Amino acid sequence: MAAPRNDSFLRALLRQPTDHTPIWLMRQAGRYLPEYCATRRRAGSFLQLCKSPAMACEVTLQPLERFPLDAAILFSDILTVPDAMGLGLYFADGEGPKFERPVRSEAAIHALRAPDPHDELRYVVDAVSEIRRALDNSVPLIGFSGSPWTLASYMVEGGASDDYRHLKTLMLDRPDLLHHLLGVTAQAVTDYLNAQIEAGAQAVMIFDSWGGALSAHGYLEFSLAYMQRIIAGLKREHDGERVPVIMFTKGGGQWLEAQAEAGADALGLDWTTDIGLARQRVGHKVALQGNFDPTALFAQPASIAREAERILDSFGPHPGHVFNLGHGISQHTPPEHVSALVEAVHRHSRSIRAAAGV
């Protein structure tokens, strides 16, 4: 397989020059698109949609047919891994994801095993292969997983939480048990991402959605250390092409210096961090991905363009920026506002390169 015809996303992750700033959007295949809702209705449920490689492929491609995005991302869910560990993922109406068997006792934690991605997670690996074929080398495909800390939050709490009470109590009272849980989960994520890479994912991203709920020292010990371990175990080259790794801790803007040492090629930023200052803080160690506030997509197109330009101007005309949101897109976003954002990023990033003579 050759490099994609539009390789701006991969080049930007490796801090190589591009003629525009590439853009993709977290959760770009999602409920704000009527065509996604139609496929999901046909699938019967969100989980059945995830578990059907053909339908996962279909929704992965939908946003690319509407918008000139520079990358595709595998349609899946971060909770496929603990589901494959036997915790029993289900979605209660209007309540988000839940596990039938949360993991809290010493016995339950010691019984955890890393699943074989070619067995219990075969449907994801098959989806990656199918999407790669369908993309036909137009744009690169991103694979992904949740971080061990973020997966642990659902595994221990049994679902979403606003204070992570059980998880944090385990962390403080029995750090040995939590370290065991995180170690097994890190192995599972490493195997899972490597299987995605072998199936054709051209970059991978680790979503640490809830790392920002930790104290500074807790983050280093219970979240960052395990992402670093995963990154060290990833295949970084496949089919003769480098496979870049993006690490994103939402709410982690205070810890960028430590993140830049973890071995990732790029760091994700939510919208609370000034991307120009972030670039100064991490130097030339990593590329940066972000960081438009998804709620700003409810404003008028002219306001959206102004906010996008502010981010591009703050980063400057240098290589190493992938434009994205700072969090997943809201289901209530008007699709035409996404068009306005993509257009503004492509247009303005070309014009600042021209003005800088690069």
DSSP-derived secondary structure for 325-337: ESSPPPTT--HHH
What number of chain residues touch its own copies (CB under 8 A)?
Answer: 36
Q: Which residue from 101, 300, 331, 358 is in contact with its own copies, where contact means CB under 8 A?
A: 300
Whether residue 40 lies in the annotated active site: yes
Q: Which of 11, 27, 229, 353 is catalytic?
A: 27
Quick one: which segment of 21-29, 97-105, 186-194, 289-297 binds its own copies (CB under 8 A)? 289-297
Q: 283's torsion region: left (phi>0), alpha (psi -120 to 50) or beta?
A: left
27 is catalytic: yes
User: Which residue's CB is nearer to its own copies, number 161 or number 351?
Assistant: 161
Give the nearer residue to its own copies in terms of CB position, either 132 or 337: 337
Residue among 45, 48, 138, 215 that touches its own copies (CB under 8 A): 215
Q: Is 182 strand, coil or helix?
A: helix
Considering only 97-105, 178-186, 223-231, 301-309, which stretch makes contact with its own copies by CB under 8 A? 301-309
Do residues 241 and 202 lie in contact, with contact meaning Cβ atoms separated by under 8 Å? yes
How many whole angstroms separate alpha carbon 6 and alpha carbon 189?
28
19 and 33 Cβ atoms separated by less than 8 Å: no
* Active-site hit among 32, 36, 154, 192: 154
Beta-carbon neighbour count of residue 44 at 10 Å? 11
* Cβ atoms within 10 Å, residue 106: 11
Q: From CA 60, how far away is CA 75, in angstroms rounded?
A: 5
258 lines the binding site for its own copies (CB under 8 A): no
Structure tokens, 237: 């080259």
Cβ 181 to its own copies shortest distance, Å:
17
- Angle among Cα 111, 115, 121 to the nearest 5 degrees reads 145
User: With binding defined as CB under 8 A, does residue 16 bind its own copies?
Assistant: no
State in angstroms the smallest separation of the CB of 247 from its own copies.
18
User: From the list 99, 271, 315, 323, which residue makes contact with its own copies (rule: CB under 8 A)?
Assistant: 271
- Rule CB under 8 A: which of 135-194 touch its own copies? 163-165, 168-169, 172-173
By beta-carbon proximity to its own copies, the closer residue of 118 and 165 is 165
77 flagged as catalytic? yes
- Residue 266 pairs in a beta bridge with 246, 287
Query: How many residues would you count in the chain?
Result: 358
Answer for which of 2, 92, 107, 216 binds its own copies (CB under 8 A) is 216
What's the half-sphere exposure (Cβ side, CA atoms, 13 Å) at 93? 0
- Candidates 28-36, 113-121, 233-241, 268-276 — which segment interacts with its own copies by CB under 8 A? 268-276
Could you tell me the two tokens for 247?
């690490």
The one-character DSSP state at 221 is: I
Ranges within 232-251 binding its own copies (CB under 8 A): 251
Asked if 97 and 159 touch (Cβ cutoff 8 Å), the reply is yes
> If binding is defined by CB under 8 A, does position 307 make contact with its own copies?
yes
Of residues 65, 59, 66, the one with CA closest to residue 27: 59
Q: Using CB under 8 A, list all residues that contact its own copies.
A: 163-165, 168-169, 172-173, 212-217, 219, 251, 253-254, 271-274, 277, 293-296, 298-300, 303-304, 306-307, 310, 330, 332
Residues annotated as part of the active site? 27, 31, 40, 77, 154
